């Protein structure tokens, strides 16, 4: 078994803000939703390495939207340098980011940030020995 995607909620009409965060700041690639689902709004993003999809996040419109405070996708990058570069890009885009828990998960370093809708996102990298 493997994970296909993570669904994250957003308010109606938030697609452009989602593209700025998930596409530009996080660097994920937007993919077209299947025609049978496109009318629902929202947008989908993938991390692609070579010919493999390594992560996929679906943003779906939720009536009465409320951001996830604890639940979150966790994305892994290859190195501390990549982690710090990504954090700089997210902060430069004006998004909330915290290093408060940087060294609180054994074997990793990480940061947490919030998408434009207030949903939590974790980005981490394995520590090298």
Question: What parts of the chain have a pLDDT lower than 70?
Answer: 129
d(CA 83, CA 61): 29
List pLDDT tens digits, range 8-23: 999 999 999 999 999 9
Quick one: pLDDT at residue 129?
Answer: 62
d(CA 109, CA 44): 27
d(CA 115, CA 36): 26
Domains of the chain, start order: 6-126 (3.10.180.10)
């Amino acid at each position: 078994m493997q994970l296909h995607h993570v669904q994250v909620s957003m308010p109606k009409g938030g697609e452009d803000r989602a593209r700025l965060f998930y596409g530009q700041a996080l660097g994920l690639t937007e993919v077209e939703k299947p025609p049978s689902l496109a009318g629902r709004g929202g947008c989908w993003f993938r991390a692609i390495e070579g010919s493999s999809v390594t992560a996929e996040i679906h943003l779906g419109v939720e009536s009465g939207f409320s951001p996830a405070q604890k639940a979150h996708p966790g994305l892994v990058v290859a190195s501390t340098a990549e982690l710090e570069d990504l954090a700089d890009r997210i902060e430069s885009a004006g998004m909330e980011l915290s290093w408060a828990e940087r060294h609180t998960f054994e074997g990793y370093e990480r940061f947490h940030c919030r998408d434009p809708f207030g949903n939590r996102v974790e980005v981490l990298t394995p520590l090298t020995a």
